[in-house]
Amino acid sequence: MKPNKMKLLIHISRVFVAATFIFSGFVKLVDPLGSAYKFEEYFGYDVLNMEFLIPYALPFSIILILIEIMLGVMLLLGYLPKVTVWSLLGIISVFLFLTWYSAYFDKVTDCGCFGDALKLSSWGTFYKNIVLIVFILLLVLKHEFIKPLFSLNTVKWTSFLSFFVFLFITYYVLVHLPIIDFRPYAIGKSIPEGMEYIGDEDPPIHDFLLESVDGNDLTEEILAKQHVLLVIAYNLSKSDLQGFSNIKMITDAAIDKGYTVYLVSSSMIEEYEAIKNDFNLNIEMLFCDGTTLKTIIRANPGIVTLDKGIVTGKWSWIDADSVKLK
């Protein structure tokens, strides 16, 4: 192939691979807990059987996300091209194995490669990685054609600055909530509409069920009410207990304004009773699937307000003083 055509092919490969890794990294960067939950699924006994790694799922997720998005940025800028393309080859090889394993053994139906922003089938994800690895191999073989977009000093400091910006975003969304919510429970979304079947496709929301301690299904009743505040704590044993002081403040205020208020969890009622007594909470508990609750809000505990089933607000417990009540 002529040098000019080869340079053009390398340029196209560089932009395609960089854009893919930046997009994939960014949609996970704004929601690192979502990726951590996915890694917990991979580490489970019925997938990779590496349950000893589950407690490290979040730091593992953060590190991998930062590596992924930084490699995309560095490739686009042309900083340390040889190191970058070999690192890309290494990480895509791991992804290729995991996605093949998931697809072949039907273990994880959604690898979470693009977070909640874009869903691909297991085999679709595997084939996507096949395409990526072809482009990356081209970059490895012809990395000398990858030149810095600007001066070497500029691309170096731009890369460093990008890393610290991404690190800050990670910290912010872990303390508060994802800055972009791609899930069917995002603010403005209607839960009842999300539960509707359209044709033969499964609805985006298919496991939302609110059940009282007595076993009564209160889902429709609560989704029909105008002012509802739900405290979401998918697992009370993993909750930030200090957050319940803030929860007490906002739930009391909501009750005074006529809101229907519940705590929703997948934990045992005995666990809630202990917390309820410790913090003098004035609300009852409902049961819901833990995975559903982790999907609704990335905080434990978190606060969600509803108006006839439409999500009108979401806050982490740390931002309880910012909750807007009508």
Residues 6+ apart with CB under 8 A from 43: 50, 51, 53, 54, 57
What are the backbone angles phi and psi of residue 23, rounded to the nearest 5°?
-65, -50
Ramachandran quadrant class, 197 (left: phi over 0; alpha: psi -120 to 50; beta: rest): beta
Contact between 30 and 180 (Cβ < 8 Å): yes
208 and 147 assigned to the same domain: no
Question: Looking at the domain assignment, is residue 70 inside a domain?
Answer: yes
- pLDDT string in tens for the chain (326-residue length): 667 788 889 999 999 999 999 999 999 999 999 889 888 887 887 777 788 888 999 999 999 999 999 999 999 999 999 999 999 999 999 888 888 877 777 766 665 566 566 677 778 888 888 999 999 999 999 988 899 999 999 999 999 999 999 999 999 999 999 999 999 999 999 999 999 988 777 899 989 999 999 999 999 999 999 999 999 999 999 999 989 999 999 999 999 999 999 999 999 999 999 999 999 999 999 999 999 999 999 999 999 999 999 999 999 999 999 998 98
Q: What is the DSSP letter of 111?
A: -
Q: What is the pTM of this model?
A: 0.89
Rounded CA separation 138/271 (Å): 56
25 and 157 assigned to the same domain: yes
167 and 315 assigned to the same domain: no
207 and 273 assigned to the same domain: yes
Sheet containing strand 284-287, strands side by side: 211-212, 284-287, 260-265, 228-233, 302-307, 310-316
- Residue 48, pLDDT score: 75
Question: Looking at the domain assignment, is residue 311 inside a domain?
Answer: yes
Question: Looking at the domain assignment, is residue 182 inside a domain?
Answer: no
143 and 101 assigned to the same domain: yes
- In 3D space, the residue among 114, 87, 154, 86 whose CA is nearest the CA of residue 22 turns out to be 114
Question: Looking at the domain assignment, is residue 16 inside a domain?
Answer: yes
| Last residue in a domain, options 128, 146, 175 | 175
Residue length of the chain: 326
| Last residue in a domain, options 175, 205, 226 | 175
62 and 154 assigned to the same domain: yes
Question: Looking at the domain assignment, is residue 181 inside a domain?
Answer: no
231 and 104 assigned to the same domain: no
CB neighbours of residue 319 within 10 Å:
17
Question: Looking at the domain assignment, is residue 183 inside a domain?
Answer: no
| Last residue in a domain, options 151, 175, 199 | 175
- Residue 111, pLDDT score: 58
85 and 160 assigned to the same domain: yes
Q: Can you give the residue range of the structural domain that contains 204?
A: 191-322
Rounded CA separation 64/182 (Å): 20
How distant is the alpha carbon of residue 186 from its chain centre?
A: 12
| Residue spans of alpha helices (H) in 105-241 | 122-141, 152-175, 191-194, 219-224
Rounded CA separation 27/45 (Å): 27
Question: Looking at the domain assignment, is residue 186 inside a domain?
Answer: no
- Overall domain count for the chain: 2
15 and 164 assigned to the same domain: yes
156 and 205 assigned to the same domain: no
Contact between 208 and 195 (Cβ < 8 Å): yes
Please state, in angstroms and as integers, the Cα–Cα distance from residue 142 to each residue in 19, 139, 215, following that order.
19, 5, 64
How distant is the alpha carbon of residue 246 from its chain centre?
A: 24
Question: Looking at the domain assignment, is residue 180 inside a domain?
Answer: no
CATH code, 298: 3.40.30.10
278 and 303 assigned to the same domain: yes
What are the backbone angles phi and psi of residue 24, rounded to the nearest 5°?
-60, -40
84 and 163 assigned to the same domain: yes
